[in-house]
Amino acid sequence: MHQLKRDGVPVDGFTWYSLQHQVDWDSALREDSGHINQLGLFDLNRNIMPVGKAYKRLIQQWKDILVSENYGLNF
């Protein structure tokens, strides 16, 4: 991230999709198979996943930098 910013890429924040695991997302909801796609920050019981913990650390590490360079954005 630091190299991107040094290269002039404007990093204003972070986003992650999706907040919690998706059901049948791999079939674009065309099939009702009950397959859980484990790609969320939280599981379906709202327990934080390891990726959610890592994402939280990332935000904590970058918060002060992004706030100081927010270009008028409010956090």
Q: What is the Cα–Cα distance from 74 to 54, expressed in whole angstroms? A: 24
pLDDT digits (tens, 9 = 90+) for 14-70: 888 999 999 998 888 898 999 999 999 999 999 999 999 999 998 898 888 777 766
Strand partners, 37: 22
pTM over 0.85, yes/no:
no
What is the C-alpha to C-alpha distance for residues 55 and 7, in angstroms, rounded to an integer? Answer: 23
Can you read off the two tokens belonging to residue 5?
């910013």
Q: How many CB atoms lie within 10 A of CB 29?
A: 10
Residue type, 62: W
* pLDDT at residue 73 is higher than 60: no
Question: Residue 54: its pLDDT value, please?
Answer: 95
Summarize pLDDT for 24-40 with one digit per residue, the tens: 988 888 989 999 999 99
